[in-house]
Structure 1
């Protein structure tokens, strides 16, 4: 598939080699999804296994409603033949229908939000059922209860998609207003988002990961695109400016941030999905909504995949149609993350630099989760429409 317009075309105008890489990765994603599609849903991961001759395979493990919903979003912009190629003969409506049918057993707010988002965006006939289940779970969240920032962002994105699909109804607009106020309130006066909106453990209360920035940025940009909410666009722009200012010299989208200042608490792991998919997805949505276009930062992040300084192993594995998940420290107990979270809680900007020497980033995590390929397709094949308000 060669693509000369849309988001890849915009990138090509700035960095043709980065656009070529995206072309390659979109094709890989379509090929790489079917091996993880089992019985009408996606596995949790394809885990690398090495045989006696040193050859790698990827073994499917578990099941994931969440990753299935993300893949549904990613496959939705594809033409029908590519949808069937990615879903082993199914269409996105088949996948979404099964997800909605299983919603009575879904108790996680984020999972329900993703399913409602996929249903609304694909125009599925069961969208009202999906929105009602999301509303039921929202009613179970008491005022003042902590809510994960990522889940709050997905709820807003789902309702923005429902608003766009319906033109707005009293119920949808009421839920949308609540989700909007919660997410904007979670940012407050901070530079970036924290991991939790509401009470959190003292030593990590100030910390937010990359996902905690990407998904609110995306949801707020989409809210502005469909309603003209200028406060949402300003907040999205603040977050985008913050993560781009903190981006590593080789394009790394770092892992954990001090939400108060925007400083990096702990950079590693660096995830393939952040470089190829989530970072571009949110920043391109911001550009589509009328915000700043960070195409140079996106291109720099993409180039990390092929020229990263941390590990020699290739992260793009064409023969298995996947990407290995991350470049990480050899720190299975996450000592560096915990120590730096405590240190920065006590003293803003503390680094504990000795930990970089004790736990250098030189390990590759050999697994690939379906959402990594799903978000890749969504990032590059989707274009966010604007209401014109």
Structure 2
């Protein structure tokens, strides 16, 4: 039987430049991830610092259980040799087992969901216990939208692995299905209110759209896929002329509240990941938008600075406005809360989006591998 084409081949089609770019990004991830581990744990970030010769070097900072779980999801798409290389000689079963053993160390529902998802994806023997701990933590009421989406994705993966978590799955699915705003997009919370200030209750970030699209696609039933398709159509319609996936949206209208920052991980991994999952579930085909987003990585409209540093094994995190107190985002959340679509245009001139955030985090490459590698 003929093997189906890879995701890279489907997205690139006859465009050799796109295919080469995807291969380049995967190679950067494979080079960078081994450098993101300290004493067997994944760091929170690699920060770029001047090397004294006009270039950059990186310094690790912090540790992150969440980023380790996302990395595990990406690494499970690799063959044994590449897994060992990325994990600096370690193995995926061991990494997943260490994550599951730390489930009770975190109070974050999202962290617990990601670890459970990794256990399901890798077929770990501790999956039933992870599912029990996840259900114990998911007590109902308002939750952050990203966490709710990760819970559903974890339970969908567990279902696919043959685990019995049907009642929890149905609750998680219904919470996300009912959580979309009138504009087809998601605000920052579902299942209730009170987690975010009232002036920005209508606002959802890009992650608040992408992870529900992915989770609903992975649920796979017609109602879920239809809702995911509506959200996908909204973010694609709003995509920037330079291929940018914008940052803040109005869940009531589907419009953009504030475009910046533009994150590299959204361009090379998260948007393709969700949109490809949706297409594979029978939803709309947005490969043209995926291609546009990918090419922002080599032709960002906001800067002449390279966003991909091949030898360093990083992609710089984002282009952003130079407003350290997030003045623009706060102002636009407040003004659109008063009147839909109200923008204070002078802010664009005072705070142009020319800053580059020179850091790179493990989850960015975890999602990149999860998106573009097909599995061992």
Q: Which category describes the TM-score, using the shorter chain as reference length?
A: over 0.9
Question: What does 1:43-54 correspond to in 2, within 5 Å?
Answer: 43-54=43-54
Does the C-alpha gap of structure 1 residues 146 and 14 become closer, same or farther in structure 2, counting only changes over 3 Å? farther
Contact 1:31 1:85 in 2 (8 A): no
Query: How many Å separate the matches in 1 of 2:210 and 2:263?
Result: 13
Structure 2 matches for 1:139-218, cutoff 5 A?
A: 139=139, 141=140, 145-166=141-162, 169=164, 172-197=165-190, 198-199=192-193, 200-218=196-214
Cα deviation for residue 154 of structure 1 reads 0.1
Q: For structure 2, which runs of at least 5 residues remain unmatched after alignment? A: none
- C-alpha change, 1:204 and 1:14, in structure 2 (3 Å) is farther
Structure 1 runs not aligned, ≥5 long:
384-389
Residue number among 340, 346, 349 corresponding to 1:348 in the alignment: 340
Q: 2:273 aligns to what?
A: 281
- Confirm or deny: 8 A CA contact 1:29 1:376 kept in the other structure: yes
C-alpha displacement of 1:15: 3.2
Cα RMSD (Å):
1.4
Q: Which residue of 2 aligns with 1:248?
A: 240
Name the stretch that deviates more: 3-12 or 95-104: 3-12
Question: For residues 282 and 264 of structure 1, what CA distance do their matches in structure 2 show?
Answer: 19
Q: Which is worse superposed, 253-262 or 186-195?
A: 186-195
Larger mean Cα displacement after TM superposition, 49-58 or 95-104: 49-58
The separation in 2 between residues aligned to 1:257 and 1:332, in whole angstroms, is 20
For structure 1, which segment, 8-17 or 240-249, has the greater mean C-alpha deviation from structure 2 after superposition? 8-17
1:190 shift after superposition: 3.4
Change (3 A) 1:17 1:131: same
With structure 2 as the length reference, what TM-score do the two structures score? 0.96
Q: 2:255 aligns with which of 260, 263, 266?
A: 263
What does residue 26 of structure 1 align with? 26
Correspondence 1:108-147 to 2 at 5 A = 108-139=108-139, 141=140, 145-147=141-143
Q: For 2:161, what is the secondary structure of its paired residue?
A: helix
Structure-2 separation of matches of 1:19 and 1:204? 39
Q: Which residue of 1 aligns with 2:293?
A: 301
Task: After superposition, give the CA deviation of every residue in 1:321-352 in whole Å (9 maximum; x if it has no partner).
Answer: 11000000101000000000011001101121
* Distance (Å, rounded) in 1 between the aligned partners of 2:356 and 2:14: 30
1:81-130 deviation line (CA, Å, top 9, x unaligned): 11111111112211101101111212110000000000001101111111
Separation in structure 2 between the aligned mates of residue 309 and residue 95 of structure 1, nearest angstrom? 39
